[in-house]
A and B are shown apart, each in its own frame.
Chain A
Amino acid sequence: MLIIENLHVSIAGHTVAEVEKLELANGQRIGFVGESGSGKSMIVMSILGLQPKSAKVTGSIKFNGVELIGIPAKKLADIRGRLIGLVPQDPTKSLNPTMRIGKQIAEAISLHSNAGKKAILRRVRELIDNVRLPDPDRIIKSYPHQLSGGQQQRVLIAIAIACEPKLLIADEPTTALDVTVQGEILNLLLTLSKELDMGLLFVSHELGVVRFVCQKVAVIYGGQVAEFGNADSIIKQPAHRYTDALIAANISLPRNEIEVAGNTNQLHSVRGSVPSIGEFPDGCRYRNRCDFAIDSCRSFVPMRQKDKDHYHRCCNPISSAEKPNVTH
């Protein structure tokens, strides 16, 4: 459905994203994981043609056989919203505060179809039902501020799936929400993806969140795919040192007495911070923060295969003899 090939995005001569090849099949769910500044949003935004104006995009992004790079704006606008939906990061900043919810959902439908008023209203109710919001009459008449953050995110999901898109892009859809609400929204996205046979491209900085929703994970760093594979295999047997550091940094719920309280030895962070655009090192992008960097990290690192469906670009990968996640 979605095929990215030799994608190259640059701003003021600095490369901000480069993806050799990445494929998403119909109905498949893939997660992009990385820190802020890793370039994950830049890749996603270039799919939608929403990258900053100063960005130069080359290569190929094919969606259902249609080349999206260089496509006329009008044609892209038709694909966006109809075939590709977007769920934004902060629901409280993404709805029009002066417009009733019903009208905002209706807008998404009427923009891409010439359905009559009644049919649109029927569809709005159906969508509100789809995203498991109670009391459609009240929701339709409400203004955004009358709904909670979680409810607003459900409205935005309703808008995103209004035209039954083949692909839903969710850019950190739960970062602004509470942990309990996060679980509900993740469940909703997962259910909708299955019900509607809709592909999902899920962007997050949390591996735990991505694993819950996605089958495939691409770990992004320095605008490149550092590691790619099945979610479980990436989390249980990471190859790339960056992936391993991200996993170790995850603050997970303590499961036993040892993990509870005071045992700060189990709290890890990824050393250093993400460099600014244009300040990433040559060769392996991660090598200046990596405790395991070797000489060959200085030259270009191609993608290599670890297992079937598991790829990475690490010169000094974690061997099977090593226990991952405890090395930092």
Chain B
Amino acid sequence: MSHIDVKNFYFSYAPRSARETGIWTLSNLNFSVEAGGFLGIVGESGSGKSTLIRNLCGLLPITEGHVHIDGCNLASLSAREMIDLRRKIQLIYQNPKRSFDPRMRIGRSISQPIRSLEKRAPSDEELANLLASVGLQAEHLNRFPHELSGGQLQRIAIARALSVRPGILLADEPTSALDVSVQAQALKMIAELREQLKLTVVLVSHDLAVVGRVTDSIIVLKDGVIVEAGNTANVLLNPQHAYTQKLAEAAAVVSL
């Protein structure tokens, strides 16, 4: 059974008018990710990448079609079951500087998922171990977000997401707000933790180079429609759709 299964899926922020006009934000999406798989979603701003990520973790409703996570139909979950599901799916956001409460010390920030989803207060040792898993030290627990660099914060965001031992990690442009010098580090960390923890990962990016380095399959989104999908090597080395070719050219121009 697939870990994430999306069938005939449509979404609109204004579903009633979408049913009349047939204009959807996301239109007829079909794809699945096996347990332990690494899927990349590529496309420009406005293509619907982030909307899709929000659908997958239940932050936006399912308008039409089916989204199954771990065998559960997202559309038919009760509020209680949704909370259980949240533990299994965790998110990393684009801008790490904006995904931490500036008034909270890091230790408190990263204990939040455990507090709210597992209803317990994690020990300092547990938190220190979390930071160690992303190459940071226990002393960082007492720091405030503004005292840390973007790269460090993004690693902490990864640690926070993994604190509740999710099976699925959704990463929405996790490298694009980072300096070039640490983008690779964040990407590598996600790839290595996925291997180690047998995670299913969905990585969203506008940059084909980023997605191409780590994922094993890719879907290319344009205006809410999948224009190309397949094994990463095939899509990257032999793109068929004109839009994928355009994305590849754009990434090649600035590659070294």
- A interface with B by C-beta (< 8 Å): 35-36, 149, 178-183, 186, 205-209, 211-212, 235, 245-247, 249-257, 259-264, 266-270, 273-274
Query: Is B246 interfacial (CB-CB < 8 Å)?
Result: yes
Question: Known interface pairs A182-B250, A257-B237, A261-B212. Does A269 touch B184 (Cβ–Cβ under 8 Å)?
Answer: yes
Q: Give the docked Cα–Cα distance between A261 and B210 (Å).
A: 10
How many residues of B sit at the interface, in one of the four size bands?
Answer: 35 or more
In the complex, given contacts A36-B150, A249-B183, A267-B191, what are 18 additional A-B residue pairs having Cβ atoms less than 8 angstroms apart? A35-B181, A149-B45, A180-B246, A183-B253, A186-B253, A251-B180, A252-B255, A253-B236, A253-B252, A253-B255, A260-B232, A260-B236, A261-B215, A264-B187, A264-B214, A267-B184, A267-B185, A269-B183
Query: Is B216 interfacial (CB-CB < 8 Å)?
Result: yes
Return the chain B residue nearest A210 by Cβ: B254
Q: Give the docked Cα–Cα distance between A179 and B38 (Å).
A: 22
Question: Known interface pairs A149-B45, A182-B250. Does A261 touch B180 (Cβ–Cβ under 8 Å)?
Answer: no
- Of the candidates A36, A179, A180, A183, the one having the most CB atoms from chain B within 10 angstroms of its own CB is A179
Q: Give the docked Cα–Cα distance between A285 and B251 (Å).
A: 32
Q: Is the CB of A249 within 8 A of B45?
A: no
- CB within 8 Å of A: which of B180-229? 180-185, 187-188, 191-192, 206-210, 212-216
Please list the 7 inter-chain residue pairs (A to B) with the smallest Cβ-Cβ separation, ordered nearest first. A252-B255, A269-B185, A208-B254, A270-B181, A267-B184, A267-B188, A253-B209
Return the chain A residue nearest B181 by Cβ: A270
Q: Give the docked Cα–Cα distance between A111 and B206 (Å).
A: 39
Q: Which of A181, A209, A255, A266 has a CB less than 8 Å from the CB of B254?
A: A209
Q: Which residues of chain B have C-beta atoms less than 8 A from A212's C-beta?
A: 253-254
Cβ contacts B224-256/A at 8 Å (1 or 0 each): 000000001100110000000011111111111
Q: Give the docked Cα–Cα distance between A2 and B249 (Å).
A: 34
Q: Is the CB of A269 within 8 A of B181?
A: yes
Cβ contacts B161-186/A at 8 Å (1 or 0 each): 00000000000000100011111110
Q: Which residues of chain B have C-beta atoms less than 8 A from A186's C-beta?
A: 253-254
Question: Known interface pairs A180-B250, A254-B209. Does A207 touch B184 (Cβ–Cβ under 8 Å)?
Answer: no
Return the chain B residue nearest A36 by Cβ: B179
Query: Is B44 interfacial (CB-CB < 8 Å)?
Result: yes
What distance in Å separates the Cβ of A171 from its nearest Cβ neighbour in chain B?
15
Q: Which of B182, B207, B213, B232 has a CB less than 8 Å from the CB of A179?
A: B207
Return the chain A residue nearest B152 by Cβ: A273
Q: Is the CB of A269 within 8 A of B255?
A: no
Return the chain A residue nearest B212 by Cβ: A254
Listed by A's residue number, 30 A-B pairs whose Cβ atoms lie within 8 Å are A149-B45, A179-B206, A179-B208, A180-B247, A180-B250, A182-B254, A205-B181, A207-B256, A212-B254, A246-B181, A249-B181, A250-B180, A250-B255, A252-B251, A252-B255, A254-B209, A254-B237, A255-B237, A257-B233, A259-B213, A261-B38, A261-B214, A261-B216, A264-B187, A267-B187, A267-B191, A269-B151, A269-B183, A273-B182, A274-B149
Q: Which of A179, A252, A260, A268 has a CB less than 8 Å from the CB of B233?
A: A260
What distance in Å separates the Cβ of B192 from its nearest Cβ neighbour in chain A?
6
Q: Give the docked Cα–Cα distance between A262 and B183 (Å).
A: 16
Q: Give the docked Cα–Cα distance between A180 and B256 (Å).
A: 17
Q: Is the CB of B206 within 8 A of A249?
A: no
Q: Which residues of chain A have C-beta atoms less than 8 A from B207's C-beta?
A: 179, 251
Q: Give the docked Cα–Cα distance between A262 and B214 (Å).
A: 5
Q: Which residues of chain A have C-beta atoms less than 8 A from B38's C-beta?
A: 261
Return the chain B residue nearest A183 by Cβ: B250
Q: Give the docked Cα–Cα distance between A251 and B45 (Å).
A: 20
Q: Give the docked Cα–Cα distance between A208 and B256 (Å).
A: 5
Q: Which residues of chain A have C-beta atoms less than 8 A from B232's C-beta?
A: 260-261
- CB within 8 Å of A: which of B16-53? 38, 44-45
What distance in Å separates the Cβ of A262 from its nearest Cβ neighbour in chain B?
7
- Of the candidates B44, B183, B184, B232, the one having the most CB atoms from chain A within 10 angstroms of its own CB is B184
Q: Is the CB of B209 within 8 A of A251?
A: yes
Q: Give the docked Cα–Cα distance between A266 and B213 (Å).
A: 9
Q: Give the docked Cα–Cα distance between A181 and B251 (Å).
A: 11
Q: Is the CB of B44 within 8 A of A178?
A: yes
